[in-house]
Amino acid sequence: MIKKLFGVERNVFFMGLVSFFNDFSNEMIVSIFPAFFSSVLKSGAASLGFIEGLADGISNLTKIFSGRLSDKTQKRKVLALSGYILSVATRPFYLVSSVASHVLGIRVVDRIGKGIREAPRDALLSLSSDSEHIGHSFGFHRSMDSLGSILGPLTAFLILERFPGAFNTVFITAFFVGILALFSFVFIKEVQAVHARGEKLRLRLKPHTKEFKRFLGIIFLLSIANLPIALLLLRTQDLGLRISFIPLFYLFYSVSYTLLSPKAGRLADKVGDKPVILGGYLLMGLAYLFLIYDQTLVALAVGFIILGIGSATTDSVQRSFAARLTNPEERGNAYGLLNAAIGFGLLISGVVGGLLWQNFGATTALTFGLGLILIALIAFGLIGAKRANTQ
């Protein structure tokens, strides 16, 4: 049997393929949310931000449970597959959505599926890689993830450009692409970490290093600063663009993300995680400045491109950094905590960001995010990088 495919372990490759199809499906839908909310649901930034924030928060309550359960049962593949099945199953229900509350219910169930799968999936990824190549493995996975994110909004754009207002066609296409993600799971093998006998796994901070605990707090603040991409896409409507063109700006974001994700992982393996994470969030702040101060199509495109680069240099690397700060037997627990910190931060980001955007304007919401980035990065610069016993 071939051990590696395209320079990564077989498990890492096929988990990347799963994420490719799932994100192809999911991002088709997310990229049209601003247009769908404004033209069909007749809702604004506050509703969009609230729905995205609340769904992510509930998702991360589930991530805590799934991370603990994956460590206890060692059934990471089954848990991850269950989460993907639940998310894909929600997508046909957009066809009968006519008010924002319908979408809220669908997004909550979808994000619960995300919560079930992410901690065991990340643990499975890290356990399928040796410690020297964890960053590369996560970078490859994120690049496959975001490659799907390129095709998703591009497909949505082509559908809406050819058939204006055909949101149902987008939803149906997204569902069938999601089915392909489920079929890809047949090639993934379970990987187990050995636990000490008699050890009871509990979701708690005590087993982890002080550096990891501080890292969680900083990631929480940075996640609050990370405004939902669906909310940021509302900036396109300020320039009077046609509805069909909104997904293209998501495409700009996804292309830059995809091109940089593998390089960010390799760079983190060479120079360390901290400089890469610091640089990524500084780029996010720069993107916010473009969206605040220069309201032209070119500046908007540049802002989303820079935002994609920033996300590429943080998403995978902060997960590999967490792996380096934690022990293998607590890896699922650690990713449950990390995903919870990210998710609760995103909940606040969506709710507060949406309210600020609708009531005080985009500039106020973006300035709020920029200020938090600067505060959190000062704290992150002081954190140590003491590593736990990784395998």
Structural domain that includes position 124: 9-189+203-381
pLDDT over 80 (residue 362): yes
| Structural domain contains residue 195 | no
CA separation, residue 168 to residues 90, 136, 179 (Å): 14, 38, 17
Q: Has residue 166 got a pLDDT over 50? A: yes
Q: CATH number of the domain that 129 lies in?
A: 1.20.1250.20
Q: Are strands 4-5 and 8-9 parallel, antiparallel or unpaired?
A: antiparallel
Residue 306's nearest CA partner among 363, 260, 354, 350 is 260
Domain count, the chain: 1
Of 101-110, 125-134, 170-179, 309-318, the one with minimum mean pLDDT is 125-134
Task: Flag whether 179 is in a domain.
Answer: yes
- Report the distance separating Cα 249 and Cα 15, nearest Å: 27
Query: Angle, to 10 degrees, between the axis of helix 10-31 and the axis of helix 76-90?
Result: 20
Between CA 370 and CA 383 the distance in angstroms is 20
- CA separation for the pair 44, 177 (Å, rounded): 29
Name 9's bridge partners. Answer: 4
Report if residue 180 sits inside a domain: yes
Q: Is the pLDDT of residue 390 over 60?
A: no
Residue 390 located in a structural domain: no
pLDDT digits (tens, 9 = 90+) for 32-82: 988 888 888 888 888 988 998 888 888 877 877 776 777 777 788 888 999
Distance CA(357)–CA(224), nearest Å, equals 14
**Measuring CA to CA, how many Å separate 62 from each of 67, 113, 204, 276?**
9, 8, 15, 29
Distance, in Å, from the CA atom of 36 to the CA atom of 75, rounded to the nearest integer, reads 38
In a domain, 3, yes or no: no
Length of the chain: 391
Residue 100 covered by a domain:
yes
Read off the pLDDT of each residue in 11-38 and give the average, rounded to a whole number: 90
Instruction: Assess if residue 389 is contained within a domain.
Output: no
Q: How far apart are CA 226 and CA 285, in angstroms?
A: 10
Residue 130 burial by Cβ neighbours in a 10 Å radius (0-12, 13-18, 19+): exposed
Helix or strand holding residue 146 (H, E): helix 134-162
Q: Which of 28-32, 226-230, 329-333 has the lowest mean pLDDT?
A: 329-333
pTM of this structure: 0.79
What count of other Cβ atoms lies within 10 Å of the Cβ of residue 306? 22
Flag whether pLDDT at 364 surpasses 90: yes
The verdict on residue 235 lying in a domain is yes
